[in-house]
Amino acid sequence: MSGAEPGGRTPRAPVAFTVRRARRADMAAIWELEREFAVFERLEQQFTGSPERMAECLFGNGWPKLECFVAEVGGELAGLAIFYGAYSTFWTRPVLWLEDLFVSPRHRGLRIGRALFAAVAAVAVERGCARMDWAVLDWNRDAIDFYEHLGAASHGGWFTYRLSGEGLAAIAAESRAKP
Whether residue 147 lies in the annotated active site: yes
Rounded alpha-carbon distances, angstroms, from residue 82 to 22, 43, 69, 86: 10, 17, 7, 14
Residue pair 67/84 in contact (Cβ under 8 Å)? The answer is yes
Rounded alpha-carbon distances, angstroms, from residue 173 to 54, 128, 163, 165, 179: 26, 37, 14, 12, 12
Walk across the sheet containing 76-88 and list its strands.
18-21, 67-73, 76-88, 93-103, 132-133
Cβ-based neighbours of 117, under 8 Å, separated by 6 or more: 81, 98, 101, 150
Annotated catalytic residue within 84, 87, 147, 161: 147
In one-letter notation, the amino acid at residue 171 is I
Distance CA 101, CA 160 (A): 18
> Annotated catalytic sites, by residue?
147
